[in-house]
Amino acid sequence: MSNQLKVGFIGLGIMGAPMAAHLVKAGHQVFVHTRSKVPTDIAQSTAIPCSSPQEVGEKADMIFTMVPDTPDVEKVLFGDKGLAHGLSKGKIVIDMSSISPIATKEFAKKINALGCDYLDAPVSGGEVGAKNATLSIMVGGDESVFHKVKPVLDLMGKNINLVGANGDGQTAKVANQIIVALNIEAVAEALLFASKAGADPAKVRQALMGGFAGSKILEVHGERMVKRTFDPGFRIELHQKDLSLALNSARALGISLPNTATAQELFNSCAAHGGKAWDHSAMVKALETLANFEIGQKAS
C-alpha cells in the first residue's frame, strides 16, 4: 500500500496483541517485540519479530509501547538494548501503557533530547476494547505530533483526545481509573444489597440499565458479578497499580481521595485472598466476604 508505515509495537500482552494485530491488518509493516513468546496469530502474520526494543527502534519510524508499569516502560526505553539506543532523529515514540505522569514527563524529555518526539497515550476499554478497536485513548504531547499519529491511533480506538502536554494523557488515565474503581464498587454494593434482600440480581441489573444508574460498568461488570466470570479482562493487580498512582499523586498534590483509598483496600483484600489476577470486577468478592453472602446465593 502506498501509505504503508514502518510501525513498531513493543508489548504483546492481553491488550497489546490485538492492538498490534489491527496495525498489521491495516497493511502497515509492523516490527514487534515482547518479553514472552510472540502470540501465535501475530507470529503467523506479516509482523516482523525483533530480538530487542533497540532493534524495533532501528527499523520502525513510529514505535508504540504497551507494557504493565512505570519500571517496565523505563526498561524498554532506556535499559540494556532499550528502544532509545535504536532511535534516530525524527522518530516518534508513543507509550500506551498506564504509568506515572511524573515519570512520563522525564521520559519525554530524554526522548526529545535524541531529536525524537514522544506522546503518552494510555487507553481505556480493556481487552474487549482492544479486540474491537474501540479503545478510548488519552493523549499528552505536541499537537502537530498528535495529528501525525492520529490515523494510526484510529486503527486501535474510537474516542481519541489530545488532553494537553506530555504527562496529561497519563493524568487523564489515572482519573479514568478512579472513576472505574468507584463505579465497580457502587455496582457491587447495589447488586449485593439486592441479592441479599431476596431479589434476582440479574433482573435488578436489567431494570437499572435503562435508568440514571445505567453505565458501562453495570452492563459489563455487573454481568460478570452475576454470572461469576472473573477471568481477566483487566487484572486486579493492574488496577491496584493505577490506584497507587492516584493516591501517591494525591498525597503529592495535598488532596484527599477517600473513596479511592477504600476501593484500593477492597482490591487489597481480594489480592490477600489469592485474587490479584482476577478481573477487577471481582472486587465484589471482598464485599461478599464482609457480608458473608454471595450474589446469587439464596437469601435466608
Half-sphere exposure (Cβ direction) of 180: Cα atoms closer than 13 Å: 25
Nearest Cα residue to 216 out of 287, 128, 295: 128
Mean pLDDT, rounded, of the chain: 96
The percent of residues above 90 in pLDDT, for the chain, comes to 93
Mean pLDDT computed over 37-45: 95
C-alpha to C-alpha distance for 235 and 103, rounded to whole angstroms = 23
pLDDT of amino acid 232: 85
**How many CB atoms lie under 10 A from the CB of residue 86?**
20
CA distances from 82 to 10, 64, 78, 213 (A): 11, 13, 5, 46
Q: pLDDT at residue 2 above 70?
A: no
State if pTM tops 0.75.
yes
Helix axes 168-196, 101-112, angle to 10 degrees: 150
Q: Which of 151, 155, 162, 221 is nearest to 18 (CA)?
A: 155
Reported as a single tens digit per residue, the pLDDT across 194-243 is 999 999 999 999 999 999 999 999 999 999 999 999 998 889 999 999 99
Closest by Cα among 79, 215, 93, 197 to 142: 93
Residue-level pLDDT at 296: 87
Region 69-83: what's the mean pLDDT?
Answer: 97
Q: Which residues contact 159 (CB under 8 A, 6 or more apart)?
A: 135, 136, 137
Is 60 exceeded by the pLDDT of residue 110?
Answer: yes
Which pLDDT score is estimated for 126?
A: 86
CA 197 vs CA 143, 191, 200, 295, 297: distances in Å: 53, 10, 9, 10, 11
pLDDT of residue 1: 41
The set of catalytic residues is 173
CA 153 to each of CA 20, 106, 280: distance values in angstroms, whole numbers, following the listed order? 11, 23, 26
Tell me, what amino acid is at 23?
L
The reported pLDDT for the residue numbered 298 is: 84
Tell me what percent of the residues of the chain surpass a pLDDT of 70.
Answer: 99
pLDDT in tens, 139-180: 999 999 999 999 999 999 999 999 999 999 999 999 999 999
